[in-house]
């Protein structure tokens, strides 16, 4: 039977079924296939497509692949009882089978004067000890390039990156040591972007401000502190707000708040001592990239030419979901990791 491809006769099909029933559960599949080969059966399926994995590779990234596979299974209406488990083991074997590695096209690293960290931590211990864990707040800004396609992915060889879309929003995010999350302040370039057809972003429930560069300014920072102070007054809370020493975070001498104390972290060490920099913002952005990838997958299925080119409204919706998905345990671990908490 080996050689040219042909159909099995009825008797041969019965023989294969009989072999399977007699040895199923007692013999590994590899040995069963070997037994069939010895009897003259061809057990290698003919490949009907030259590169069946190419379309997969267009979408696979280190974080998106399992979600992508589940999404495709949903689209194909595969019953849960018949699905494989899209686990890390499945991914590892898939990469090994096709000789795939994760290539990062570019990146950057930060450094700090580590010899001063212990001294700064002792100072912060004394400061934070005056407040309970729930009343210790860290706030920081981060740029969100909301249209960026993945900068790395799985491939059989290194690839060049695409032109980076630098369209961005600035997000002002904050958390307490216990895991409470403040409502994000979003900084954009337009008072009312075109995609907001029913009114300004505030009418959609977003905390939004704008300027030409979508940056934090001293004026916006003072307003942010005043609004946060008012919220704490309503809650009858007195909080400590930790932030970096950016020029936009400077408050006029003599300016005080009734329910809010602002403390600036030392320069050049925020990557070590600031909880938001210890993994909270990173998790937020990773969540956003994952959600954007799934959104792009849907758009691509509809035939959209550039599925990552989302408008500001869709980006803000995805970013809000990404922030909602940052867990309290992640926040608590990041605070603990900095070593600034006096209880640690």
Which one-letter DSSP state was computed for residue 181? B
Which one-letter DSSP state was computed for residue 84? P
User: Does the CA dihedral 71-75-78-79 come out positive or negative?
Assistant: positive
pLDDT per residue rounded down to tens, the chain (344 residues): 445 556 777 777 777 777 777 766 666 766 767 777 776 666 555 555 555 455 555 545 544 566 777 777 787 778 887 777 777 777 777 777 777 776 654 333 345 567 788 899 999 999 999 999 999 999 999 999 999 887 766 667 776 666 678 899 999 999 999 999 999 999 999 999 999 999 999 999 999 999 999 999 999 999 999 999 999 999 999 999 999 999 999 887 778 899 999 999 988 888 899 999 999 999 999 999 999 999 999 998 898 888 989 999 999 999 999 999 999 999 999 999 999 999 75
Residue 245: C-alpha distances to residues 139, 265, 266 (Å): 12, 6, 7
Using only the alpha carbons of the chain, give its radius of gyration: 28
Q: Are strands 185-188 and 207-210 parallel, antiparallel or unpaired?
A: parallel
The rounded distance, in Å, linking the Cα atoms of 188 and 210 is 5
Among 57, 68, 69, CA closest to 154:
57
- Domains along the chain with CATH numbers: 1-46 (no CATH), 54-99 (no CATH), 114-338 (3.30.420.10)
The rounded distance, in Å, linking the Cα atoms of 340 and 257 is 24
Strands, E assignment, 9-104 = 101-104
DSSP calls for 12-32 = HHHHHHHHHHHHTTTS-HHHH
For the question of whether the overall pTM of this predicted structure is more than 0.85, the answer is no
The rounded distance, in Å, linking the Cα atoms of 312 and 146 is 8
User: Does the CA dihedral 43-44-47-51 come out positive or negative?
Assistant: positive
Among 315, 299, 337, 312, CA closest to 59:
299
173-197: per-residue pLDDT in tens? Answer: 999 999 999 999 999 999 999 999 9
For tokens 């379309």, name the residue.
55
254-285: per-residue pLDDT in tens? Answer: 788 999 999 999 888 888 999 999 999 999 99
Query: Per this entry, what is the length of the chain?
Result: 344
Identify whether the C-beta of residue 142 lies closer than 8 Å to the C-beta of residue 319: no
Among 246, 214, 217, 242, CA closest to 228:
242
């Amino acid at each position: 039977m080996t050689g040219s491809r042909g159909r099995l006769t009825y008797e041969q099909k019965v023989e294969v079924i009989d072999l399977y029933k007699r040895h199923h559960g007692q013999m590994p599949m590899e040995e069963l296939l070997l037994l069939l080969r010895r009897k003259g059966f061809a057990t290698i399926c003919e490949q009907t497509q030259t590169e069946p994995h190419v379309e997969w590779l267009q979408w696979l990234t280190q974080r998106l692949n399992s979600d992508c596979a589940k999404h495709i299974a949903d689209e194909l209406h595969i019953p849960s009882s018949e699905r494989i488990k899209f686990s890390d083991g499945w991914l590892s074997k898939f990469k090994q089978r096709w000789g795939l590695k994760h290539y990062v096209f570019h990146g950057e690293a930060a450094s700090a004067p580590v010899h001063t960290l212990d001294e700064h931590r002792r100072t912060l211990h004394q400061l934070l000890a005056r407040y309970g864990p729930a009343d210790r707040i860290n706030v920081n800004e981060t740029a969100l390039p909301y249209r960026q396609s993945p900068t790395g992915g799985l491939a059989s060889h290194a690839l060049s990156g695409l032109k980076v879309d630098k369209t961005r929003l600035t997000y002002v995010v904050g958390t307490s040591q216990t895991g409470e999350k403040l409502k994000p302040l979003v900084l954009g370039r337009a008072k009312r972007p075109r995609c907001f057809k029913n009114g300004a972003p505030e009418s959609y429930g977003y905390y939004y401000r704008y300027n030409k560069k979508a940056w934090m300014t001293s004026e916006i920072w003072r307003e942010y502190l005043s609004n946060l102070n008012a919220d704490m007054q309503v809650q009858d809370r007195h909080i400590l707000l930790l932030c970096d020493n950016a020029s936009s975070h400077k408050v006029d001498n003599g300016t005080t708040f009734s329910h809010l104390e602002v403390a600036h972290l030392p320069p050049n060490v925020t990557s070590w001592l600031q909880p938001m920099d210890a993994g909270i913002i990173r998790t937020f952005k990773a969540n956003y990239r994952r959600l954007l990838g799934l959104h792009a997958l849907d758009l691509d299925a509809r035939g959209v030419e550039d599925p990552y080119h989302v408008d500001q409204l869709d980006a803000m919706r995805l970013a809000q979901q990404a922030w909602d998905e940052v867990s309290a345990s992640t926040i608590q671990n990041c605070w603990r990791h900095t070593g600034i908490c006096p209880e640690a």
